[in-house]
Amino acid sequence: MKCPYCNEEMEQGYLQAMRRVAWVKQIHKVSLLPKQGEVLLENNTFGDAVFSAHICKKCKRVLLDYSDKDIEEG
């Protein structure tokens, strides 16, 4: 896949984090339920969060794919 910013070929990999991962409009403590317009991308209280992701090392950007996730949207 090509980087949407610089058109360089991106590397396929994974983004790994711990527990809860959310997309938010403003920074706040991530609570159990996402607020209006927010997306709780991962809610794994006891383990790692893993996302399929492409990286562009030139732009230093990661494109996250959450299509395989069971998503909670606020």
* Residue from the set 21, 51, 56, 69 that interacts with Zn ion by CB under 5 A: 56
Is residue 5 close enough to count as binding Zn ion by CB under 5 A? Answer: yes
E strands, 24-57, in order = 39-56
Which residues does residue 70 pair with via DSSP β-bridges, in sequence order? none
Residue 37: CB minimum distance to Zn ion, A: 27
Alpha-carbon separation of residue 17 from 9, 21, 33, 46 (angstroms): 24, 8, 19, 12
Is residue 14 close enough to count as binding Zn ion by CB under 5 A? Answer: no
Is residue 9 close enough to count as binding Zn ion by CB under 5 A? Answer: no
* Residue from the set 1, 6, 17, 18 that interacts with Zn ion by CB under 5 A: 6
